[in-house]
Amino acid sequence: MEKLIITCALTGAEATKQDNPNLPVTPEEIAKAALEVRQAGASIVHLHARNEDGSPTQDKTVYAEIMRRIRETGNDIILQVSTGGAVGMTPEERIQPVTLRSKASDGSFSGGQATGLLPPYPEMASLTTGTVNFGNGVFLNTPSDIERFARVIQEHGVLPELEIFDAGMIRNALELRKKGLVPDNAPFDFVMGVAGGIPGTPRELLFLVESLPEGARWSVAGIGRAQLPLATMAILLGGHVRVGFEDNVYYAKGVLAESNAQLVARIVRLAKELGRAVAAPDEARHMLGIIGKK
C-alpha cells in the first residue's frame, strides 16, 4: 500500500470556541495548530478562515495572512484552501482564496512574496460536486457554479480535492473529469456523517470506494463519532485520512480533544500498529502530482 496521507481540517466554518475552547480561530492560532499537526504527522492542512468575532469568512486577505504565518514558522505542510466556506455564502465569496495563486505570463505560478520559505499560496482547494442538506441549512452547489469553481481552480494551477458528501457527487465529479475541468489525479474525499449527507457507516464507505474508477485516490473525513472508525477502515483499505476540529471536536465520547495534533497523533499511532507508513508533505506532493509547481 502507498504511504498514508493525513489531512487535518483545523477549524472549519461551523465549530465554535463554545464547542471546544481549543479550536484555532485567529491566523496566529491556526498557524500554531498547523505546525503542531505537521510535527504530529499530517501532510496537508485544510484551511478555513474566521473574522475577529469568530464568524466564518472567505476573505482572501485573511487566508493570505494565515498562509503567510504558516510558512513563517518554517512549516512545509501542503496548503489546501476551502471553497466551501459556510452555508449561505455566495460563490464569489467562496472562490476568493484560490485566486491568491496567480499565473505569470511565462506560465509559471506564483503568489506572496519571496521569503526563501515555501510560498504562502494554495496548492490544493476543496471542490464539492453537488448540493447537500447541511444540518438545518442547504450547502448549495449548482451545476454551473461547480463548473465555474473547477475552471478557476484549474486556471490558478491548484489541485482540486473532490469533496463527496453523498454518492451522486461521484458521478458529478466524473463528469467534470470527462469535460477536462478536473485532472484525473484529483483525489476524492468522502465527507461522511453530515446531517443530510451519506451516513458515516462502514457499509457506506465500502459502497463509495467501490463506486470510484480504478486507481482513484481517496480519503475519508468522518463527522463526529464516525471519525475514528472510518479513519481506521481507510488505513486498512489503502485510502487516506482526514481528521480535525472541522469534522469532530471530541477525542472520545464526552471528552473534548485537546488539540488538532492530538487527533493526528492517534492516526499516526494506529497506522504504525497496522503496518502503514505515513507520508511526509513532500512525499504526498509527489504522490498527488503537485511537486515541482512553483
Footprint of Zn ion (CB under 5 A): 82, 84
Q: 91 or 283: whose CB is closer to ligand KMH?
A: 91
CB 179 within 8 A of CB 144: no
Which residue, 292, 290, 260, 249, is CA-closest to 125? 290
- Which of the listed partners (Zn ion, ligand KMH, none) does 165 bind, with a CB threshold of 5 to 8 Å by partner kind? none
105, three cell numbers = 505570463
Q: Determine, following the binding rule CB under 6 A, whether residue 126 of this chain makes contact with ligand KMH.
A: yes
Nearest approach, Cβ of residue 76 and ligand KMH (Å): 22
Q: Which residue has the cell 505537521?
A: 38
- Which of the listed partners (Zn ion, ligand KMH, none) does 161 bind, with a CB threshold of 5 to 8 Å by partner kind? none
- Which of the listed partners (ligand KMH, Zn ion, none) does 49 bind, with a CB threshold of 5 to 8 Å by partner kind? none
Q: Determine, following the binding rule CB under 6 A, whether residue 82 of this chain makes contact with ligand KMH.
A: yes
Q: Which residue has the cell 480519503?
A: 219
Centroid of chain to Cα 162 = 9
Report how far residue 72's alpha carbon sits from residue 110's, in angstroms, rounded to the nearest whole number: 17
> Which residue(s) pair with 109 in the sheet?
103
Q: 82 or 99: whose CB is closer to Zn ion?
A: 82
| Part of the chain binding ligand KMH (CB under 6 A), chosen from 81-89, 152-160, 197-205, 237-245 | 81-89
Binding mask 144-183 for ligand KMH (x = CB under 6 A): -------------------x--------------------
Q: 121 or 271: whose CB is closer to ligand KMH?
A: 121
Residue 214's H or E segment, with its range, is none
DSSP string over 46-93: EE-EE-TTS-EE--HHHHHHHHHHHHHTT--PEEEE-S--STT--HHH
Q: 12 or 119: whose CB is closer to ligand KMH?
A: 12
